[in-house]
Amino acid sequence: MSADPTTTAAATAAGVGSAPTAVDNAPTPVGDRSAGRWGNPDTESGGGWAPHPSPAAGPLLGDHQDPAASPLLGDHQDPAAGPLLGDHQDPAAGPLLGDHQDPAASPMPHGTGTWGGTPGAPRPDVPHTAPREAVEGLLLGLAAGDAAGWPAARHRAARMPEWTRRLTRELDTFAEQNATTTLPVPIALNQPPEPLRLGPSDDAEWAVFTAEAILTASGPVFTGLPPERRLRAAVDLAWNALAGQVAAAAARAPEVESAVLPLRARISVRAGLGNLATGLRPPATGHDNPHFFDDAACVRAAVLAVVHPGDPRAAAELAEFDARYTQDGDGVHGARAMAAAVAAALGGATVDESVEAALAELPPVTEIGRNARYAVKLAQTAGSAFELVPLLEHQIVDHVYSYGIAAAETVPVALALATAARGGMTAAVPAAVCLSRVADSAPALAGALTGALGGGRSVPPTWREACRTLAGCALPRLAGTDLVELAGLLAATEPATPGGQFRHDTHTG
């Protein structure tokens, strides 16, 4: 291997102003992709409709914001116009296909339950919003799983003074050099210890970032757009506004690497925002990305399922629209699968029906498709979620790459544990935590699905109180956000209507 994957990925993520070709030689240890239907991402921007954001772009969407001042619409674009298509895109083209798929091939897989849709049929209007109890279970289950994994303590330690983290690193070096088995943990010493106590971290905060877009779409900012286009417009504006903040921080710094950014994020998200800041558009922002394969979009997808309860296909299509900002290949497939599973659960499906909806979105020829089907097969014969852990550890989880965040591992683990736990959150989440290598997100994904299946009452009261409030360790402006209150707002949001196509994909949502 010609390059160290950790070094290559970190360098690209740090380079907010890096060129689109920064990852041409980066290794692709997991997942699969090709230039696919969009051709060479170095020569095609993806046909998006938002221009390069101003570096001075403000914070994400307050109610006071004038939609005419946003970076969302190009000067040439009438907000009331029809679907905006890239010049390279045939308006009659079918649904967005995975990079490996021939556009002339058979229709994409679809759900099989009573909540499933017919491929190629217009998306029906969703007749109801997701029940508040189910949305509450989704958010609290995700947050509880996020909090339970060991990486959450390190994420939350970001709110401690830097010297406390430096001391922890020095103690770790001491243990390594002196062959001691007493390992350090995040410490407070003479500082208030509240940031280190049990609670949600990065996954829950990026899920709320997506929830904000859902709420914004139903607010006054996009009243000039047809209702069916507002949500995707809100998602687009959310990403471009954040990219503008990143670009502004980089512009203020003497060099990009020293920029003080208003967020902490996965490598794929940092790289995607950097790509947006340089003028790239999806799908290039996710394709030209060293961590295209990771699961960063999966927690966002779980929240987007709220828009299409009971319609896994529509939820998957919407999730792909969002995922293309930061992912490609298995990263996109994983987002589609999680959205489909959670949407089915929100519509009243059983755990088996929900998992089947997820599998229907995973092409069998992909790594994530193979892993998920095999993991679920193992789960169907396991006596319990805990019994399944060693099998997943030895047969699904990878121990080669430097990060345990591949969607091809975490999504199959979440689906399998939900199956083995028969949809029970208190069985699925602790089992996911036992898989230490994928504990950064697999517990959160398992918690999101099982929480949606069981509702808010399935989350133990102690976990509910510990995990309902965000700390702001990844997105500081979200500190203090109450997930129970947010669930009520999301459940009251007007359902999405069909249509609303605009590039970078051709789906409805």
Helix (H, G, I), strand (E, B) or coil at 406: strand
Predicted local distance difference test score (pLDDT) of residue 250: 84
Q: Tell me, what's the pLDDT at 243?
A: 95
Which bin fits 423, alpha (ψ -120 to 50), beta or left (φ > 0)? left
Q: What pLDDT, in 10s, does the model give residues 101-155?
A: 333 333 333 333 334 444 444 353 233 468 999 999 999 999 999 999 999 999 9
Please report the pLDDT score of residue 495 as a whole number. 57
* pLDDT number for residue 227: 86
How far apart are alpha carbons 465 and 484 in whole angstroms? 10
Q: What is the residue-wise DSSP string for 487-508?
A: HHHHHTSPPP-S----TT----
Q: What DSSP letter does each residue of 429-440 carry, written as one string?
A: HHHHHH-GGGTT
The CA-atom distances, in angstroms, between 483 and each of 301, 402, 446, 464 are 17, 32, 18, 9
Is 60 exceeded by the pLDDT of residue 345? yes
Q: Please give the share of the chain, as a percent, with pLDDT higher than 70.
A: 71
**pLDDT beyond 70 at 33:** no
Q: What pLDDT was estimated at residue 256? A: 65
Which residues contribute to the annotated binding site for Mg(2+)?
A: 440-441
- Both tokens of residue 450? 């099982």
Residue 261 is predicted with a pLDDT of: 82
Q: Is the pLDDT score of 11 beyond 70?
A: no
Residue 105's pLDDT is what? Answer: 38
Evaluate whether 436 touches 183 at the Cβ level (below 8 Å).
no
For residue range 411-421, list pLDDT tens digits in order: 999 999 999 99
Pick the range with the lowest mean pLDDT from 70-74, 440-444, 472-476.
70-74
Annotated binding-site positions: 440-441
Residue type, 478: L
Q: What is the mean pLDDT of residues 230-245?
A: 96
Query: Taking a C-beta distance cutoff of 8 angstroms, is the pair 136, 455 a contact?
Result: yes
Domains in the chain and their CATH numbers? 128-149+199-470+478-494 (1.10.4080.10)
Confidence check: pLDDT of 98 > 80: no
Which residues have C-beta within 8 Å of that of residue 387, sequence separation ≥ 6? 420
According to the model, what pLDDT value does residue 497 have? 54
Q: State pTM to two decimals.
A: 0.75
* pLDDT score for 257: 66
For residue 434, what are its two tokens?
């036992």
**Lowest model confidence (mean pLDDT) among 41-45, 272-276, 405-409:** 41-45
C-alpha of 303 from chain center = 9
| Residue 74: pLDDT over 80 | no
Q: Residue 432 to residues 78, 225, 416: CA-CA distances in angstroms?
A: 48, 42, 10
Give the pLDDT of residue 53.
37
What average pLDDT does the segment 74-81 reach? Answer: 37
Mean pLDDT, the chain, rounded, equals 79
DSSP H or E run through 11: helix 5-14
Angle, vertex CA 189, rays to CA 188 and CA 194, nearest 5: 30
pLDDT at residue 496, as a whole number? 54
Give the 3-state secondary structure of residue 327: coil
Q: Is 94 a residue whose pLDDT tops 60?
A: no
Angle between helices 425-434 and 132-148 (to 10 degrees): 20
Contact yes or no for 310/334 (Cβ under 8 A): no
At residue 296, does pLDDT exceed 50? yes
